[in-house]
Amino acid sequence: MVLRNKKEIEEIRKRLLKHYPAAHTELIYHNLYELLVDVILSAQCTDKRVNQITPALFKKYPDIKTLAKANVDDVRELIKTCSFYNNKAKNLVAMAKMVMEKYNGKIPEDEKELVKLPGVGRKTAHVIMIEYFKKNLMAVDTHVFRVAHRLKLSDAKTREGTEKDLVEAFKTDLNDIHQALVLFGRYICKAKNPKCEECFLYDLCDSKDKKEIKKS
């Protein structure tokens, strides 16, 4: 449930888009294949870590075709500094094989087909659709979930419920707002020690995590 009125929601939208104009993912990629691999790896892992891992991975497996023929143990070794690397290695190779066998080597470009791929859930598919295809969708990761609740844009207990509330609240500009919320949550509205002194939404927040800022 959204606990904000329309005027407040529009003010939050305005400030987010002003502070993060043309925001985009911090994952480094050059094509859809690299983005898909990046996003699969980024689950419960930082973008910074993923960007450290992928150069060697993409050098050895530059496309779907080569990844589909990869040895899982070799992929595991290349991504071993990533969280849940065992499952992710299996999913990456299985994903590539499925793309080759079911989609003739072409990564599907719609959500219904993307979520059929190993390692790709709703959030992963939405991140890809938002970043690569600029679709008007919302994806809820840890940062977006936290910010949405602190700003009372949702009180849902699940990511799916939070996504529904954010879509209902903003309706448009969802792709840009998603990217802005991620960056805002990552660098300002952090889980621990939020930087309230830098927050451009401070006056609109009454979260229990809000710090009192002493005015000079």
Domains recognised in the chain with CATH numbers? 6-23+138-204 (1.10.1670.10), 32-133 (1.10.340.30)
In the structure, what pLDDT confidence band is assigned to residue 22 with cuts at 50, 70 and 90? confident
Rounded to whole angstroms, the Cα distance separating 136 from 171 reads 8
Q: Determine contact, residues 92/40, Cβ cutoff 8 Å.
A: yes
The helix, strand and coil proportions of the chain, stated in percent and rounded to the nearest 5, come to 60, 0, 40
**Looking at residue 18, what is its pLDDT?**
97
Establish whether 123 is a catalytic residue. Answer: yes
Residue 36 per-residue DSSP state: H
Establish whether 141 is a catalytic residue. Answer: yes
Rounded to whole angstroms, the Cα distance separating 12 from 173 reads 12
Per-residue pLDDT of 60-82, as tens digits, reads 999 999 999 999 999 999 999 99
In the structure, what pLDDT confidence band is assigned to residue 215 with cuts at 50, 70 and 90? low
Q: What is the mean pLDDT of residues 45-61?
A: 97
Which residue among 88, 123, 152, 165 is the active-site one? 123
For the whole model, what pTM was predicted? 0.91
Q: Determine contact, residues 117/98, Cβ cutoff 8 Å.
A: yes
In the structure, what pLDDT confidence band is assigned to residue 193 with cuts at 50, 70 and 90? very high
Rounded to whole angstroms, the Cα distance separating 101 from 81 reads 29
3-state secondary structure of 171: coil
* pLDDT surpasses 70 at 216: no
* pLDDT surpasses 70 at 57: yes
Which residue among 141, 152, 165, 176 is the active-site one? 141
